[in-house]
Amino acid sequence: MDDIDKKIINCLQGDFPIEDRPYQIIASQLEISEDELLTRLENLLANKTLTRFGPMYDIQKLGGSFSLCAIRVPEERFTEVRDIVNSFSEVAHNYKRDHKFNMWYVLATESLVQIEQTNQAIEKQSGLKVYNMPKIQEFFVGLYFKA
């Protein structure tokens, strides 16, 4: 990752322009071409420097559901279970914690029923109990990772 890639990552974590050619606007701010920006963004995704690039929607305001879930995964099975969990398109993101509940993930679905169905399928495939923790109260945390 070079300095331009770092600038791209830092820039794309802020306000994304809602315009006909948003990448052209961002490229202009970074003093590179739109084609270079798009190529670099594709490369950052392909080489897994970035795992995702896209909007964050409030699924509940759109009529859907989401929930935070946790699993106690034996360390020797972590990669296997991670791959099972990540194979579900309903999984928004998944991360490891240094805790007895060491795998956490967020489900985003069209309904509460789909939350339950997805967790049941994950339990069946992994053989491990999933702990579902739906939101009771929401807090906004502005998250930014400087590259």
Sequence ranges of the domains in the chain: 3-46, 65-134
Predicted pLDDT at 82: 96
Output the pLDDT for position 127: 97
pLDDT band (50, 70, 90) for residue 147: confident
Whole-number Å distance between alpha carbons of 126 and 140: 32
- The contacts of residue 87 (CB under 8 Å, 6+ apart) are none
**Which among 110, 131, 111 has a CA at the least distance from the CA of 119?**
131
DSSP secondary-structure letter at 131?
E
Sign of CA dihedral 22, 23, 24, 30: positive
Look at the pTM and tell me if it is higher than 0.85. no
| E strand or H helix that includes residue 106 | strand 103-109
As a whole number of angstroms, the distance between CA 40 and CA 43 comes to: 5
Model pLDDT for residues 59-94, shown as the tens digit of each residue = 777 777 889 999 999 999 999 999 999 999 999 889
Per-residue b or e along 64-88, where b marks 16 or more CB atoms closer than 10 Å to that residue's CB: bbbbebbbebeeeeeeebbebbeeb
pLDDT in tens, 85-118: 999 999 988 999 999 999 999 998 988 899 999 9
Range 65-134 classified under CATH 3.30.70.270: no
